[in-house]
Amino acid sequence: MATALGTASAGVLYGDRVNQLDLRVGKVLRFGTRRTSVNLDIYNALNSSAVQGESQAYATWRLPQLVMMGRFVKISSQVDF
C-alpha cells in the first residue's frame, strides 16, 4: 500500500530470511591416559546466500552490502593429557 508520497507503509519491505545449517562431526581417540578429539566443522552447509545488510542511502537503496559467507570447512583437534 502506498501513501501520497509514493513510499511503502511501515512493515511491508523485509530482507531475506536467514537460514543457516552448521554441522560438526568428531571422533575421540584414546592412547593410554591421553585423549584426543578430531573435529570437522562445516559452516553454512546448505550454502545460503541471504543478504544480511543493505544500503540505506537514497541513490543505492536496498543494494546488498553484506551477503552471508559461502560454505566453508574447519578441521580442529584437542589433546587432553
Q: What domain count does the chain have?
A: 1
Answer yes or no: is 11 within a domain.
no
pLDDT of residue 33: 92
Identify whether 27 is part of a domain: yes
Provide φ and ψ at 72, rounded to 5°.
-145, 160
Supply φ then ψ for residue 48, to 5 degrees.
-70, 150
pLDDT one-digit tens code per residue, 32-81: 999 999 999 999 999 988 899 999 899 998 999 999 999 999 999 999 98
Contact partners, residue 15, CB within 8 Å, separation at least 6: 50, 51, 52, 54
Is pLDDT above 60 for 3? Answer: no
| Cβ–Cβ < 8 Å for 28, 59 | no
C-alpha cell at 26: 568428531
Q: What is the pLDDT of residues 41-55, one digit of tens each?
A: 999 999 988 899 999
Task: State which residues form the domain around 61.
Answer: 23-80
Domain assignment present for 63? yes
Considering the domain boundaries, does residue 51 fall inside one?
Answer: yes
Per-residue pLDDT reduced to its tens digit, 7-16: 667 777 888 7
Residue 10 lies in a domain: no
pLDDT, position 24: 97
